[in-house]
Chains A and B, each alone.
Chain A
Amino acid sequence: DAKTTQPNSMESNEEEPVHLPCNHSTISGTDYIHWYRQLPSQGPEYVIHGLTSNVNNRMASLAIAEDRKSSTLILHRATLRDAAVYYCILKTGANNLFFGTGTRLTVIP
């Protein structure tokens, strides 16, 4: 399975934008980039996914580099509820997810 690299932890002030980076230099042409997050004491939660173009939804935006070797999850205004572990995952044909260690986001009030 293709590997992703994320910082172990990041901090953000409340109500400021957060940019969570992910490197995936071995991505293949058919890999989708998925982001999930896990809030404390909860199951993982789908955030967003994309293939080549940037994507927006009600939760976040996903910016994908032109060469697709990296991507950035953007939370436009961090709230305390956004404090979680964020996972960047590459999905190939099989639909199961392979989670790495993710980025622990701390939101400072």
Chain B
Amino acid sequence: DSGVTQTPKHLITATGQRVTLRCSPRSGDLSVYWYQQSLDQGLQFLIQYYNGEERAKGNILERFSAQQFPDLHSELNLSSLELGDSALYFCASSVDPSESSSYEQYFGPGTRLTVT
């Protein structure tokens, strides 16, 4: 158990809909990261938040957005869903007091999103 929790575990929705995925980081971790894992693209970094502020962006679509709240939990919002958005979405957290390369990330169990 990494200490990172994600809800829901599974989500099935229709094209065009909007969903929210939730992540609670490990106690004490200030950084939260979101990743998408699909069969054809592998594991891809989407976005990072540090202590409530956006720090880095990866291959995140404009239809997707995220935020980190004062209690440090984070939500990833996916809108106008398409079939191709079906994937596993992982959240990770780290201590990350600076932009150091030496800190490891701890991943949650993921949310499996199926768009029909």
Contacts and interface: CB of A to CB of B under 8 A. Distances in A.
Interface of B: 2, 4, 31, 33, 35, 42-45, 48, 55-56, 58, 90, 92, 94, 96, 99-110
Contact of A43 (B2, B42, B58): B2
A16 interface: no
Contacts, number: 68
> Which 3 residue pairs of A and B lie closest in terms of their CB atoms, listed nearest first?
A43-B107, A99-B43, A91-B101
Interface in A64-95: 87, 91-95
B108 A43 contact: yes
Interface of A: 30-32, 34, 38, 42-46, 49, 51, 87, 91-101
B109 A95 contact: no
Contact of B101 (A44, A93, A100, A101): A93
Given A43-B90, A45-B2, A46-B105, A96 B45 contact: yes
A95 to B, nearest CB: 5
Nearest to B31: A95
A93 to B, nearest CB: 5
A95 B103 contact: yes
| Best-surrounded residue of B42, B43, B45 (most CB of chain A within 10 A) | B43
A44 B43 contact: yes
A91 to B, nearest CB: 4
B106 A46 contact: yes
Contacts of A43: 2, 4, 90, 92, 107-110
Contact of B94 (A38, A45, A95): A95
